[in-house]
A and B are shown apart, each in its own frame.
Chain A
Amino acid sequence: MVPDLHGYGWMLLRGLELTLLVGLAALFLAILLGLLGAWGKSSTSPIARSLAATYTTVVRGVPELLLILLVYYGTPTLIQNLSLQWGYPVFIDLDPFWAGTLTLGFIYGAFATEVFRGAFQSIPPGQLEAARAIGMSRSLAFRRIVLPQVWRFALPGLGNVWMVLIKATALISIIQLDELMRSAQIAVAATKLPFTFYFIASLFYLSITLVSILLQQRFEAWANRGTQRA
């Protein structure tokens, strides 16, 4: 049985495309922030360490929805109020796509930080000592020894981060970005068929999850190539 979508099927598909775009862009940012955060956590500088600790503590202790509201509505107001005080009025109108991407990337960067921290610790320290002993610089050793191996340990955790992140993109609908969830809302407002459209949207999310699980297995097999299995 195929339900009558009243011509809104294409809109849902475009919403799906935007959801995937926001999700992938946010994941990219989260990986960058995660590497940076993991570096900060293992740094010898107490400032970098406490900055990274505050970042992960605060972000993981506050709901995503509140953080999205804070970044999307709070940051422009804060900047405008400050700039008004200093006598240079600046007015900011955040683009929902970038606001959503930046917020989700910022939030899941904290989770990625923990993933990478664990992954870096899983690399045997003897390998780094050996690299230093044959005269590699710290950055070269990082590039040649640590980075190629860190994916193997980080992939299961990053897969989880991605799965949670892509579901969290639904929250971006409250800042008026026409991703999958908001497309469904628009269709519901016009057709008065809430169950039909939200159910179809949920099946889209479910298929993203399903494809992600299959891809993750592929990636893990690729990252683990050449390693011995018990």
Chain B
Amino acid sequence: MNLSLVINSLPQLLSGLLITLEITALALAIGLALAVPLALMRLSKNFLVRAPVYGFIFYFRGTPLLVQLFLVYYGSGQFRPELEALGLWTFFREAYFCAVFTLTLNTAAYTAEILRGAIQAVPYGEIEAARAMGMSRSLLYRRIILPKAFRIALPAYSNEVVFLFQATSLVSIITLLDLTGVARVLVARTFAVYELYIAAGLIYLACTYLILWIFRRVEQRLFAHLRRPEAEKAKKLTGAALP
């Protein structure tokens, strides 16, 4: 075990982590913004609105992320003249753009499906009550359905965030120097195979559990009003959870 090498490579690995976190944050933010309208369109009564979104979600959830990444990064080269005519080639030439683009569409598809389930899980009584009070459709969505759906979706969404964070490691295959990419370059240079990969793995592990911890704190805050005080007290007294 070559420990000093790992310590010396730590700054480089952490700079790779920065790229990983940057790509994750960008894809998550844009992906979530896309997912809300997509989920609503997926639930539309109009077949022409629903069907293309359904196809988009099915394609991105049913194929490997690596294929999607290659389709965008290498596949765009097949349409170079067309993309150049549209002025888009400068974007698709960049691995960084292709990575963020693909990961955004991927997480948008998964998140839209999570949100769809959550919107359908909003208790019907709440919608009826809002309608009885004379809320318009848009007000109903803004004040009742979407806030409730976001809360219902949160646990599943935290899983999606972790999956996306780990999935960013694939961008190292299209030449980006994220945490995995840096580890691969360093391994090729030093031949310290398992030391560096284990170090990178530990950094991923720490970040994953940090993300999960943050989400748990957020959930505790958001669901504070749903915790039953008697059950909490009993738990403290007996040291065991009540059924």
Chain A positions within 8 Å of B, measured between CB atoms, are 57-58, 60-67, 69-70, 73-75, 77-78, 167-171, 173-174, 181, 184-185, 188, 193-196, 198-199, 201-202, 205-206, 209-210
Contacts and interface: CB of A to CB of B under 8 A. Distances in A.
B78 interface: yes
A59 to B, nearest CB: 10
A147 to B, nearest CB: 26
Given A171-B66, A193-B78, A202-B71, A63 B194 contact: no
Interface string B200-240: 11001100110000000000000000000000000000000
Given A66-B197, A70-B197, A70-B198, A167 B63 contact: yes
Given A70-B198, A202-B71, A63 B204 contact: yes
B77 A173 contact: no
Contacts of A171: 64, 66, 170
B170 A199 contact: no
B1 to A, nearest CB: 9
Residue with the greatest number of chain B CB neighbours at <10 A, chosen from A61, A169, A170, A209: A61
A63 B78 contact: no
Contacts of B78: 193-196
Interface string B164-185: 0011111011000000100110
7 contacts: A61-B205, A63-B166, A170-B66, A181-B66, A194-B70, A195-B74, A195-B79
Given A66-B197, A188-B74, A195-B75, A61 B204 contact: yes
Interface string B61-98: 11111111011001111110000000000000000000
Contact of A66 (B63, B65, B204, B209): B204
Contacts of A69: 180, 183-184, 197
Q: What's the dominant secondary structure at chain B's contact region?
A: helix
A58 B205 contact: yes
Contacts of A64: 166, 169
Interface of B: 58-59, 61-68, 70-71, 74-79, 166-170, 172-173, 180, 183-184, 187, 191, 193-194, 197-198, 200-201, 204-205, 208-209
B63 A61 contact: no
A73 B79 contact: no
Nearest to A208: B62
Contacts, number: 117
Contacts of B63: 167, 202, 205-206, 209
A62 B64 contact: no
B172 A202 contact: no
Given A77-B193, A171-B66, A195-B78, A62 B71 contact: no
A101 to B, nearest CB: 17
Residue with the greatest number of chain B CB neighbours at <10 A, chosen from A58, A67, A193, A195: A195
B71 A199 contact: yes
B107 to A, nearest CB: 15
A194 B169 contact: no
Nearest to A19: B64
Contacts of A167: 63-65
A97 B239 CA distance: 49
Given A62-B208, A63-B204, A171-B64, 16 more contacts: A61-B205, A61-B208, A65-B172, A66-B197, A70-B194, A73-B193, A74-B197, A77-B194, A173-B66, A181-B67, A188-B74, A195-B75, A205-B62, A205-B63, A209-B61, A210-B62
